[in-house]
C-alpha cells in the first residue's frame, strides 16, 4: 500500500478491477474495443478500398479494350463489304466467305437499295422496303428483337453507303461477368480480410497480450515485477520497456512514501505514549470523566499509529489477544469514546474477541457515523446474537455513502466524508482477523449502514484458541 492510493475521481477509477485479472477478462469480452479488432478492421477496409479501386480500374480498361476490339471488327467488316462493292474485280469467279451481321446498302438519298436476308427476315426487317428511307442509317446503337446492336457505315462509291451492324451479346456478357465478379469480391473480400487481419493481429500482438496478462497480476502493494521484453525491438518492445521504467519509478516513490510515513509515525509514537500515561494517571487521581475520555482517545491514537507503522512496512499485521468479555463492557467503552450513540439490541450477552481491537473497529464505524450525521443527527448501534454469529449494525441519519465508491470505501485512504480513509480499512481487517466480515451500504430509509459480524463464542471455542483468557481484562480508564 502507499499514499498514492488516495481517492481518485470516479471517471478515472471506474474501470479499474478490484481483483487481479478481472480487467483482462472484461477486455476479452469487449472485442469491439480491442486493438486487435481495430487493426483487423482498418486492414480490411484498406484492403477492400484498394481491391475496389484496382478492380474498377482493370474493369474499365478491359471493357474499353473489348469495346475497341469490337469496333475494329465492325469497321473491318464494313470496309470488306464496301471493298466488294466498289472493287469486284479481284473477287470475280471466287466463292467469298460470308460476312456475319446485318448488311444494308443505302443510296445517296438515304433510300434502301439492298438488304441482307438476316435483316430482311426479322420482324423489324420485314417492315423495311426497297426504295424507302432507311431508319437506322444515323443510329450507332439500337435493338433488334431485344438484341443490342452496334452499326458502322462506309462509303461504297456509286452504290452509296454500306451499313453493317453486329450484335453486342459477347460484349454485354463480358461486361456482366466483370460486374458479377466485382460484386462477388465485395461480398467475400471483407470476410476474408477480416479473418486474415484478426489472425495477423493476434500474431503481431502476442507479446503485448502476454505482457498485459502479466501486468494484470501485478499487486502494487507487494512488488512491481518487471515485464519480460520480446526479442524483437519493435514498438511493443519499446512500450513494455517504458512500462518497466514506470514500475521502477512507482516502486521508488512508494518506498519514499513508506519511509516518510514511518518517520511521521515514529515521531508521533513517543509523545503519544507519554500523553497516554499522563492522562491515565491524572484520571486515576482526579476521577474526572473528561480526563478519562481523553485517555481513551490517546489509547485509540496509539492503536492508529501502530496500524500506520504496519502500513508503512507494506501491509497491516495485527495480533489478537482473545478474551471473553461481557458486551456491556464494550458498550461502556464505545459510549465514552463516541458520546451520543444510541445502543439497541441485547447487550447482556458475552463476546469472545480481542476487546481492544474490536473497540477500535466499532469506534471507527461510530466515529464515521457521527461525522456523517452531524451534531444533531442520530447514530445507532444494534447488537444481535444468534447461535452462530454476533452482529453489530451501525446506522446513521446522514446523507449515505457515495454510490460511485462502492467497495472502494474499504480501501486505505479512500473516504466519502473527508476523513483519512484508514478507519474502514482497519475495521474490515479486524473483522476478518476475528473470522468475521464487515459490509456497508445505504439503508433503504436513508443514511449509511455498516454490519460487522463475528463468529459466536461457542463456534470460536470449538475451533480452539491458544490465547483465550476466561477473565475479563481490566478496563483502561
Q: Note whether residue 446 is domain-resident.
A: yes
- Grid cell listed for 318: 495485527
Number of structural domains found in the chain: 1
User: Which stretches of 16-154 are DSSP H helices?
Assistant: 22-29, 35-86, 117-120
Q: Are 52 and 186 in contact (CB under 8 A)?
A: yes
Output the pLDDT for position 329: 93
Q: Note whether residue 274 is domain-resident.
A: no
Q: Note whether residue 254 is domain-resident.
A: no
For residue 18, CA distances in Å to 12, 187, 423 come to 14, 44, 19
Domain residue limits at 427:
318-477
* Element holding 326 (H helix, E strand): strand 323-326
Query: Length of the chain, please?
Result: 477
Output the pLDDT for position 92: 54
Output the pLDDT for position 98: 56
- Bridge partners of 115, per DSSP, are 104
Q: Note whether residue 475 is domain-resident.
A: yes
CB atoms within 10 A of CB 426: 23
User: By C-alpha distance, which of 294, 302, 292 is closest to 360?
Assistant: 302
Output the pLDDT for position 473: 44
Helix orientation angle between 355-373 and 289-312, rounded to the nearest 10 degrees:
100
CATH of the domain at 452: 3.30.565.10
Q: Note whether residue 28 is domain-resident.
A: no
Q: Note whether residue 282 is domain-resident.
A: no
**Non-local CB neighbours of 308 within 8 Å, separated by 6+ positions:** 261, 264, 265, 422
Q: What angle do CA 372, 377, 382 make, to 5 degrees?
A: 85
Q: Note whether residue 310 is domain-resident.
A: no
User: By C-alpha distance, which of 438, 462, 460 is closest to 323?
Assistant: 460
Helix orientation angle between 289-312 and 235-286, rounded to the nearest 10 degrees:
160
Q: Note whether residue 145 is domain-resident.
A: no
Q: Are 416 and 405 in contact (CB under 8 A)?
A: yes
Residue 441 gets which letter from DSSP? E
Q: Return the sign of the alpha-carbon dihedral for residues 135, 139, 144, 150.
A: positive
Q: What is the pLDDT along the chain (477 residues), one digit of tens a residue?
A: 333 333 333 333 333 333 444 444 444 445 556 666 777 777 778 877 877 788 778 778 877 888 888 888 888 888 888 888 887 766 555 554 555 678 888 888 888 888 877 776 664 445 677 888 888 888 888 777 777 888 888 888 888 888 888 888 877 887 788 778 777 877 787 778 778 777 777 777 776 677 777 677 666 656 666 777 777 777 777 877 888 888 888 878 877 877 777 777 777 777 877 887 888 788 788 888 888 778 777 776 776 776 676 666 555 556 788 999 999 999 999 998 888 899 999 999 999 999 988 998 998 899 889 888 888 899 999 999 988 899 999 999 988 888 777 787 887 766 655 555 677 888 888 899 899 999 998 988 888 999 999 998 754 444 444 444 444 444 443
* Element holding 395 (H helix, E strand): strand 389-396
* Residue 324 dihedral angles phi and psi, to the nearest 5°: -105, 115
* Residue 115 dihedral angles phi and psi, to the nearest 5°: -145, 145
* Element holding 105 (H helix, E strand): strand 102-106
Amino acid at each position: 500500500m502507499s499514499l498514492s492510493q488516495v481517492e481518485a475521481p470516479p471517471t478515472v477509477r471506474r474501470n479499474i478491477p478490484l481483483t487481479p485479472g478481472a480487467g483482462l477478462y472484461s477486455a476479452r469480452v469487449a472485442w469491439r474495443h480491442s486493438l486487435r479488432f481495430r487493426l483487423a478492421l482498418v486492414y480490411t477496409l484498406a484492403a477492400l478500398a484498394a481491391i475496389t479501386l484496382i478492380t474498377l480500374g482493370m474493369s474499365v480498361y478491359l471493357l474499353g479494350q473489348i469495346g475497341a476490339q469490337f469496333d475494329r471488327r465492325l469497321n473491318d467488316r464494313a470496309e470488306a463489304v464496301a471493298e466488294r462493292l466498289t472493287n469486284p474485280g479481284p473477287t470475280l469467279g471466287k466463292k467469298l466467305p460470308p460476312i456475319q451481321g446485318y448488311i444494308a446498302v443505302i443510296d445517296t438519298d438515304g433510300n434502301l437499295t439492298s438488304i441482307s436476308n438476316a435483316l430482311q427476315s426479322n420482324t423489324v426487317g420485314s417492315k423495311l422496303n426497297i426504295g424507302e428511307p432507311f431508319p437506322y442509317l444515323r443510329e450507332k446503337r439500337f435493338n433488334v428483337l431485344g438484341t443490342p446492336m452496334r452499326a458502322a457505315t462506309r462509303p461504297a462509291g456509286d452504290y452509296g453507303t454500306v451499313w453493317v451492324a453486329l450484335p453486342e451479346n459477347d460484349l454485354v456478357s463480358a461486361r456482366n461477368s466483370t460486374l458479377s465478379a466485382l460484386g462477388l469480391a465485395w461480398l467475400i473480400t471483407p470476410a476474408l480480410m477480416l479473418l486474415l487481419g484478426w489472425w495477423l493481429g493476434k500474431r503481431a500482438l502476442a507479446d503485448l497480450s502476454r505482457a498485459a496478462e502479466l501486468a494484470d497480476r501485478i499487486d502494487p502493494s507487494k512488488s512491481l515485477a518487471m515485464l519480460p521484453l520480446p526479442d524483437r525491438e519493435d514498438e511493443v518492445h519499446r512500450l513494455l520497456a517504458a512500462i518497466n521504467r514506470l514500475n521502477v519509478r512507482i516502486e521508488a516513490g512508494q518506498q519514499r512514501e513508506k519511509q516518510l510515513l514511518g518517520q511521521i509515525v515514529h515521531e508521533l509514537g513517543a509523545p503519544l505514549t507519554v500523553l497516554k500515561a499522563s492522562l491515565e494517571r491524572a484520571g486515576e487521581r482526579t476521577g474526572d470523566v473528561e480526563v478519562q475520555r481523553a485517555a481513551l482517545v490517546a489509547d485509540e491514537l496509539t492503536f492508529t499509529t501502530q496500524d500506520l507503522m504496519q502500513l508503512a512496512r507494506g501491509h497491516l499485521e495485527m495480533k489478537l489477544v482473545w478474551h471473553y468479555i461481557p458486551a456491556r463492557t464494550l458498550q461502556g467503552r464505545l459510549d465514552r469514546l463516541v458520546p451520543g450513540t444510541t445502543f439497541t439490541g441485547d447487550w447482556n450477552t458475552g463476546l469472545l474477541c480481542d476487546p481492544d481491537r474490536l473497540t477500535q473497529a466499532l469506534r471507527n464505524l461510530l466515529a464515521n457515523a457521527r461525522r456523517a450525521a452531524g451534531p444533531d443527527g442520530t447514530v445507532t448501534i444494534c447488537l444481535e446474537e444468534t447461535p452462530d454469529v454476533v452482529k453489530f449494525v451501525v446506522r446513521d441519519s446522514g446523507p449515505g455513502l457515495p454510490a460511485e465508491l462502492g467497495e472502494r470505501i474499504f480501501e486505505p485512504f479512500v473516504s466519502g466524508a473527508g476523513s483519512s480513509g484508514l478507519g474502514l480499512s482497519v475495521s474490515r481487517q479486524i473483522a476478518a482477523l476475528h473470522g468475521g466480515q464487515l459490509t456497508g451500504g445505504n439503508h433503504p430509509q436513508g443514511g449509511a449502514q455498516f454490519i460487522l459480524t463475528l463468529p459466536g463464542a461457542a463456534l470460536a471455542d470449538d475451533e480452539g484458541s491458544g490465547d483465550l483468557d476466561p477473565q475479563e481484562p481490566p478496563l483502561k480508564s
